[in-house]
Amino acid sequence: MSINLILLSLIIIALGIIIHKLYFKHDSFDVRESLYQFKEQLIEKFSNDTLERQAGLDRFKDDLLEKQQKSMLELSKVIESRLDAISSKVQENLEKGFKKSNETFQGVIERLAKIDEAQKKIESLSTNVVSLQDVLTDKKSRGIFGEVQLGNLLSSVFGERNEKVYKTQYSLSNGKIVDAALFLPEPIGLICVDSKFPLENYKRLVDATNDEASKALYAKEFSKNVKKHIDDIANKYIITNETADQAILFLPAEAIFAEIHAYHSDIVEYANQKKIWLSSPTTFLATLTTVQSVLLNLERNKYMSVMHEEINKLGEEFGRYEQRWNKLAKHLGTVNKDVEDIHITTGKISGRFQKIMTVDIENNEFLPGRD
């Protein structure tokens, strides 16, 4: 209840008390009637004020409800727009996420396909390796394999059929045929290269299933095999006054070459004593590259000597040209002097003719005004 209502109630109560006292103090009917009317007026006024306040409260309630409904509607619209924006953003993020997931999944599928393809190639390579091992078990096949590899290295460096530098299956004067012969400039000369493939005891040596005693035995046999190849090359392919005093043992397998240099120093020393140089595909390629550089330098030096000789000849010719030019210049100088002398004589003759033309024959005097 508001303060105005409380005050109004107190006023009504006070008036009621005053009327009650006056009623019992004065018996006049007019006074009672006037007071009664005043009371009725106050009650009516109070009722009217109450009704107006109630109507004001109802209007305020309606306005408040309307404003609240409008605010709620606006808030609902704002919330709805925000929810729509959030929903669209979430949808966009979901689409991006699905796209990235799809791309990732597609990439995984492609990689799996590549892995599957690589697996098939590995299986095929494994089959080929097994087939190669089966081929290399035969000595003749191993020999052909080494010769082919040797020929490929030579042709890759010097070109095919470059017989000025090398020949394959070259026949020597002793009737032996070497796998390849390198024709190097003096003082080296012809170097024979033979391919050897000591595989059996090497395979037994590196087999992990063999015990240490067996490996030691196979190591000795392997050393004997390689040294026998060294002796064969030294006896067959080093010929005095025909070949160089050294030769090359070509090992077509890098693993065998590494095994010898890592664990069999006695083989390396024995080969050095016999002047047989051990080489693998990698080291032989490096050797051939060095040989190619040497040959190119020799060719350059040869052409440089030719150029030097020609330049010297050109210098001699220029010396002769200089002598002849000096001689010609001297002759030209003499001719020039003769020309000057003739010019002087011509001037004198012209002067004489001028004097002759100015003589007065009758009076035997020169004409006036003339010299």
| pLDDT single digits (tens) 13-34 | 666 666 555 555 444 555 566 6
Walk along the chain (371 residues) and give the pLDDT tens digit of each residue.
455 555 566 666 666 666 555 555 444 555 566 666 666 766 666 677 677 777 777 777 777 778 777 877 887 788 778 777 787 787 787 777 767 777 776 777 777 777 767 666 655 544 443 344 444 555 666 777 788 888 888 888 888 878 888 999 999 999 999 999 999 888 788 999 998 877 777 888 777 777 888 888 888 888 898 999 999 999 999 999 899 999 999 988 888 888 888 888 999 999 999 999 999 888 988 888 888 887 777 677 666 666 667 777 777 777 777 777 777 777 777 777 777 777 777 777 777 777 776 655 455 554 444 44
| Sequence-distant (≥ 6) Cβ neighbours of residue 292 within 8 angstroms | 157, 158
Residue (of 257, 260, 301) closest to 279 by Cα position: 257
Query: In what side-by-side order are the strands of the sheet with 276-279?
Result: 166-171, 177-183, 190-195, 247-250, 276-279
Delimit the domains of the chain by residue range. 137-279
Give the span between the Cα atoms of 130 and 142, in whole angstroms. Answer: 14
Q: What Å distances lie between residue 156 and 149, 161, 247, 292, 298, CA to CA?
A: 11, 11, 21, 11, 21
| Sequence-distant (≥ 6) Cβ neighbours of residue 75 within 8 angstroms | none
Give me the pLDDT at residue 27, please: 47
Give me the amino acid identity at 318: F
Give me the pLDDT at residue 276, please: 93
Give the span between the Cα atoms of 213 and 283, in whole angstroms. Answer: 32
Q: In the beta sheet, which residues pair with residue 113?
A: none
